[in-house]
Structure 1
Amino acid sequence: MGNIEITDDRTRVDFDVVWKFMSTEAYWGQWRTREQIETQVRDAWRVVAAFQDGQMIGFARAFSDGLATAYLADVFVVEHARGQGVSKALVRRMIDEGPGAAMRWMLHTKDAHGLYAQFGFAKPDETYLERPSSRA
Structure 2
Amino acid sequence: MHYEVDDDPVRIDLDAVCAFLTTEPYWGRWRTETVIRDQVRAAWRVVGAYTADGGQVGFARAFSDSVSAAYLADVYVLDAHRGHGLGVRIIQRMIDEGPGAKFRWMLHTADAHRLYRRFGFTEPSHTFLERAADLP
Q: TM-score scaled to structure 2, two decimals? A: 0.92
Partner of 1:22: 21
1:117 Cα deviation from its structure 2 partner = 0.3
| Structure 2, gaps ≥5 residues long | none
Q: Deviations over 1:30-52 (max 9, x none)?
A: 01010110000000000000001
The 5 A counterparts of 1:49-60 are 49-53=48-52, 54-60=54-60
Aligned to 2:9: 10
**2-side partners of 1:60 and 1:9: how far apart?**
12
1:113 aligns with 2:107: no
2:58 touches 2:86 (CA, 8 Å); kept in 1?
yes
1:90-101 matched pairs, under 5 angstroms: 90-101=90-101
How much has 1:131 moved relative to structure 2?
1.9
Give the letter aligned to residue 112 of structure 2.
Answer: A
Alignment of 1:56-75 (within 5 A): 56-75=56-75
Amino acid aligned to 1:72: L
The residue type paired with residue 129 of structure 1 is: F
CA drift of 1:123 comes to 3.1
Question: Is 1:39 the equivalent of 2:38?
Answer: yes
Q: What is residue 82 of structure 2 aligned with on the other side? A: 82
Do structure 1's residue 131 and structure 2's residue 123 form an aligned pair?
Answer: no
3-state SS of paired residue (2:28): coil
- What is the alpha-carbon root mean square deviation over aligned residues? 1.6
How many residues align structurally? 133
Secondary structure of residue in 2 paired with 1:87: helix
Task: Give runs of ≥4 in structure 1 deviating > 6 Å.
Answer: none
Q: Distance in 2 between matches of 1:24 and 1:131?
A: 24
Secondary structure of the 1:5 match is strand
1:3 Cα deviation (Å)? 1.5
Q: Aligned letter for 2:43?
A: A
- In the TM superposition, residue 129 of structure 1 has moved relative to its aligned partner by 2.2
Contact 2:113 2:123 in 1 (8 A): no
